[in-house]
Amino acid sequence: MLHTADGWKLYNRADGTVSLTDTAWRRDSRLELIGEAGQLPAAEALEAKLAACLAHH
Residue pLDDT, tens place only, 10-19 = 888 888 899 9
Q: Greater confidence, 27 or 18?
A: 18
Q: How many residues are there in the chain?
A: 57
CB-based contacts of 30, cutoff 8 Å, min separation 6: 1
- Report pTM: 0.56
Partners of 22 in the β-ladder: 9
**Among the ranges 18-22, 39-43, 53-57, which has the highest mean pLDDT value?**
18-22
